[in-house]
Structure formats: C-alpha cells, structure tokens
Structure 1
Amino acid sequence: MLLRRCSDASAPYPCALGLPPDRLGALVETVFPEAAAGWTPGRCFSRHVHRLAEAEAEDHPACLVSIDLAAPEILRLKREEEDFLGLLLRNRSTDLPIAAVFAAIIARACVENDHLWRSLGLAGRNALADLLRRHFHPLASANTRKLRWKRFFYERLHAEGRPTDRPTVCDACSHHSDCYGDIIPTRPHGMPK
C-alpha cells in the first residue's frame, strides 16, 4: 500500500496516505528499516524504494493530476474521512499501533472515487477482506451479506446515527451501480435501508 499510494507532501488531497510525515516515518522505520535509510518523510516513498532497487519508478497518475477542489468539498471529504476513521478505530482487533495506521490509510482511501481495494493498491477484494479481518475483525465479521466495503461502512455509519441526508462519496462515484446495483433509493442520496 505504501508503494501504491504516494506519500509526497505536495500530492493532492485524495492521493495522500493520510498520515502526518512523522507518523509515516515511524511506520517505515519500524516495519521497513532498510527502506527507511536515506528516505525523508514528506518525499515520495515509492520513488525512494524504486531508486533503492535501481528500478524505474512507476508514475503515480493520480498524484500528477492537479485537483482543484473548492474549500467546502475539501471539508466534506475531511468529514467523511473522520467518519471512516472513527468507525475503523472503534472496531480494531488490537491496540497495536499498526491498526491505527491502517485505519488512517484506509479512511483516506475511502474518500476516493474508486473501489477501496483498488485505491489501496491491493490485488482484489479478498486481499482487502483479509486485511480488515486481521486488523478490524469486529467490523469485517459483521459484513455477513458480503457487501462492497464502502457501502458496508456507510450502512454501519448510518446504523450508528450518521445523518442520512448528508451526501456520501459513493453518490457521485462512477462505480455506484457496481456496488449498489438496481436498488431503489429509499433514503436521500441513494443510501439503502
């Protein structure tokens, strides 16, 4: 996930990891100490790793596109991210720091206009399900209907009292029909009951 999601401090909001540079630096130092050598938090981690491997770095198309979001839209995305982060943190399997780091990265990816597993750079839905089962078991095990993860997260947030009239990142997503199918909207903004 760290290689897929650009960690450059100048990257547009939806592309960032969702971790402040010091927290990201601590994560890399702890989990990948050899890769941490010579890398400065706030610089693109993926490019650094590719340089270490003497390989050409992949372009990060989403990071190269300039995104011009109005202030209200950025505030809305930040509020959505906070909702997702809170949901994940309330459902951690352990209090190990890595679960909180994954929660922040996943919450940031949730506000992107793509399937969550793709935004995270994972191989598929099963890889995401495995990650969620390992670090957020109470939440993952509650998805008994095998819903797409963002849809399931929204259903949980609504069950916990999130206002139903607030728009969601799924409302304008090009993959909305993949996740929601032909559901007749019963709540504002297409959220099913």
Structure 2
Amino acid sequence: MTLMPDATSLLQTHYNHLMQHRRGDSNDDLIAKMYASWLCGQGAMPLNLGLPLDVFNSMMAYHFPTLPHFSRPSQLRHLDVGRLPELDDLRTLLHQSHSHPGPDVGWMVEILCAGCMGSDHLWQDLGLWSRKDLSRLMLDNFKPLAALNTNDMKWKKFLYKQMCEGEGIYVCRSPSCEVCVDYQACFGPEE
C-alpha cells in the first residue's frame, strides 16, 4: 500500500492507538491494520468493515477491550447489492474451513467477503498493509483452505477458483495453471 507521508503517519497513529488497547489475540494486529486503513480512506471496505453495527462494536470491544471509543471514517463505501448472491457461496466456503477458535469465526468470514467485493488485490481491498498480512490472516483463520493454495495463487482468485470447483465449474481453459497464458494474472507479484 503506497501512501503519502502524512497519510502514512496518520495510518500508523491510528494503528498504534488501537494496539495500545489490544487483547493479545492473533487477529488484533490484522484488525487494527484494516481499521486504521478504513479510517484513512484506504482499501475498499464498506461501513463497519462489512459488519452490522452491533457486530462491529462487539468485535472491536473483544479485540480492543480498553479502547474508549471508535472513530468513524469520513467517507463511507457500501457493498454492491448486485453481487450479494456470490457472497453466500463465499461465506459457505469460508465457514467450512474456519480454523480460528473463538468469536472471530463470523467476523473474519464477513470481513473477507466484504473485501472480495473490491476491485483490487484482496489484501489492498481489505486495507491490509501487505500480501503477507493476508496470507497470515488466511493461515491463522482458514488453515484448511489456505493449505490448498500450494502454488501461492493470488488469494481472491484462489477463493473464487475454489468456489467454482466446488460447484463443478471449470472456467479455466488450460489443462494446468503452469501452461496458462494468464498465469501471471493469477500467480504474479502483487506488491
């Protein structure tokens, strides 16, 4: 994520403030990065990171129990309602492979679904700071699914490929990824 120096400073300030109030859970860092980015207008996350307000408040209270109040971003994005049917399939895929114990199950599923509605790389749409953050999110929260990404396919493409294969839909024309003309689009660098 490339930001202007002032924006980077504000992003870091929001992040540091949140981390002073963290619970100590493995997702605290990732949620703090997404929330700080959301406050700074980065990424493609909709209102409350895609969660209903009461659920968002519960998540923030769980991960940052001593945080006195939550700021709200000045620019609000909304989910594209025309794409809601695909969210059900994505939710099903993610719920089937959630591996993180505790209340994060539903929260991370919904946040990932909202991030998939963006038009950039998933880590950028989520407001994470690198693809490495997204890989950690996937491995920590969706380990059985993440383990299937043996060739390090871009995460959003990987998730949609898994949904298609689960439905018996094979849209790729190549016999294998390695000989596909679109190989770079699926496996190339994202930074």
Give the equivalent residue in structure 1 for 2:38: 5
Q: Residue 51 of structure 2 contacts residue 107 of structure 2 at CA under 8 Å; is this kept in 1?
A: yes
Q: Write out aligned runs for 1:92-131 (5 A).
A: 92-131=98-137
Between 1 and 2, higher relative CO (CA 8 Å, sep ≥ 6) is seen in 2
1:15 equivalent among 46, 49, 54:
46
Instruction: Decide whether the 8 Å contact of 1:80 with 1:111 is kept in 2.
Output: no
Counterpart secondary structure, 2:100 = coil
Q: Which has the higher helix share?
A: 2
- Report what 2:149 is aligned to: 143
* 1:89 Cα deviation from its structure 2 partner: 1.1
CA distance in 1 between partners of 2:104 and 2:45 (Å): 21
User: Where does 1:62-101 land on structure 2 (aligned, <5 Å)?
Assistant: 63=76, 74-101=80-107
TM-score (ref. length: structure 2): 0.62
Superposed, which structure 2 residues align to 1:144-163 within 5 Å? 144-161=150-167
Give the deviation of 1:97 after TM superposition. Answer: 1.2
Q: Deviations over 1:115-156 (max 9, x none)?
A: 100111112111110111011000111001211001111111
Q: Secondary structure at the match of 1:34?
A: coil
Shift of 1:163: 5.5
Equivalent residue runs for 1:171-190 within 5 Å: 179-180=185-186
Letter in 1 for 2:58: A
Unaligned runs of 5+ residues in structure 1 are 7-12, 48-58, 166-175, 182-193
Deviation at 1:164, TM superposition (A): 6.3
CA RMSD, aligned part only?
Answer: 3.0
User: Is residue 29 of structure 1 aligned with residue 32 of structure 2?
Assistant: no
**Stretches (4+) displaced over 3 A:** 162-165
TM-score by length of 1: 0.62
Tell me the distance in 2 between the aligned counterparts of 1:84 and 1:111.
11
CA distance in 2, matches of 1:2, 1:97: 18
Q: Identity of paired residues, percent?
A: 27
- In structure 2, stretches of 5+ residues that fail to align are 1-33, 172-181
